Amino acid sequence: MKPDTTLLQDARGVPKDFSSLSTAVHRASTVLFEDAESFIARGKRRYRGYSYGLYGTPTSATLARQLAVLENARHVVLAPSGLAAISLVNFAALRAGDHALLSDAMYGPTRTAAVKLFGPLGVETEFYDPLCGAAIAARIRKNTRLVWLESPGTITMEVQDVRAIAKAVRARRVLLAMDNTWATPLRFRPLEHGVDFSIQALTKYVGGHSDLLLGSVAVRDEMLYRRLRDAQGLLGIGASPDDCFLALRGLGTLAVRLERQFASALRIARWLVTRNEVQRVLHPALETDLGHAIWKRDLRGSGSVFSIVLRNVGWAAARAFTDRLRLFRIGASWGGIHSLVSVYEVPPERCYPKADAQAPIMRLSVGLEHPDDLIADLEQGLIATRGIGKPTRRK
């Protein structure tokens, strides 16, 4: 054998006398077959086993297995982002002529994709009040195929009565999907509450370090799993083994991170409630929150992301507060070890008290910095809002 050839020979094996605590990163487009017959029959491996890099390698299979345990699911399908996971569900569940209901408080791009991507494909999307509970039944039509939940809602933090909605919808043979990124399956397991598709943006808490994009869909039903895998294959969207490795690493510390971040976030939320400069703190673990009773009934703890509205509701004050913070860095995405702040306005068409719609909402993602330091940071941010501009008059 000439060197050119020798260099291309087997360098893949894991020696028997080696083992470590780290998951191996198996990278592959090509998956090798032992003989012609198994290659010809490779389609059979689409749903089980390995046939092509797009459908995963042992690294993604390990992550999927771990997540399936967490979610109490039979199958987990991975996608290259949370939003891609959401699209997989839509492609798996919806056809032209179908009607889909989305919670009005869903993650913005989920709303936009439903209208702009699936609208032209013949799917009609309608938004419902996240607090409607069993009244969702009145919105179900003959052609309604899918109802999406997300609880608490992005930014506005409405807690949904998943049980009531699942009960109302199941009677109508409609599929239910839930974006459970905020709670993670450690706090809430959608599949145990009648939901068919449980999705997570692993980008957030599971990744936990603001350095990867990944999503997952967990299901119990075999047919739904196959449809998700088919959609994944036809769209050509697989998950990178390197990102799966990082998510597996994140899973190992997920419980302790959540514990600490939740405790810090709750302490900070309670402190914010006592501050004059703050009009509202939107966090379901606060006894005064609208969603507290359902949160307490259904969830085993909380995320560390919540929102506030300043008493001075002008944009000048919102900018002064946000710009003054030093430990809370400005940026989208959340759930990582670094604290973040972001600022939003609620679009007027949303189901949200109209009087409040002009007030900017600041979302805080509490990281692993010491809560004393985070409180000191917020305090100087709040002081910066005093006497700024004229608050917008509220009716």
Binding-site ranges for ligand PLP (CB under 6 A): 81-83, 107, 150, 154, 179, 181, 201, 203-204, 213, 215, 333
Would you say 77 or 313 has its CB closer to ligand PLP?
77
Would you say 83 or 191 has its CB closer to ligand PLP?
83
Using CA atoms, how far apart are residues 67 and 96, in angstroms rounded to an integer? 31
Shortest spacing between CB 333 and ligand PLP, in angstroms: 6
Would you say 215 or 371 has its CB closer to ligand PLP?
215
Shortest spacing between CB 353 and ligand PLP, in angstroms: 22
H helix runs in 108-237, sequence order: 108-116, 162-170, 184-187, 222-235
Would you say 177 or 318 has its CB closer to ligand PLP?
177
Shortest spacing between CB 208 and ligand PLP, in angstroms: 13
Shortest spacing between CB 258 and ligand PLP, in angstroms: 15
Shortest-Cβ-distance residue relative to ligand PLP: 82
**Residues 223, 72: contact at Cβ < 8 Å?**
no
Using CA atoms, how far apart are residues 169 and 4, in angstroms rounded to an integer? 63
Using CA atoms, how far apart are residues 216 and 201, in angstroms rounded to an integer? 7
Q: Would the CA dihedral through 167, 171, 172, 175 be positive or negative?
A: positive
- Encode burial over 61-72: b for 16+ CB neighbours within 10 A, e otherwise: bbbbebbbebbe
Would you say 23 or 103 has its CB closer to ligand PLP?
103
Shortest spacing between CB 150 and ligand PLP, in angstroms: 6
Would you say 86 or 308 has its CB closer to ligand PLP?
86
Shortest spacing between CB 21 and ligand PLP, in angstroms: 27
Backbone angles phi, psi at 54, to 5 degrees: -55, -35
Percentage helix, strand, coil for the chain under 3-state DSSP, each rounded to 5: 40, 15, 45
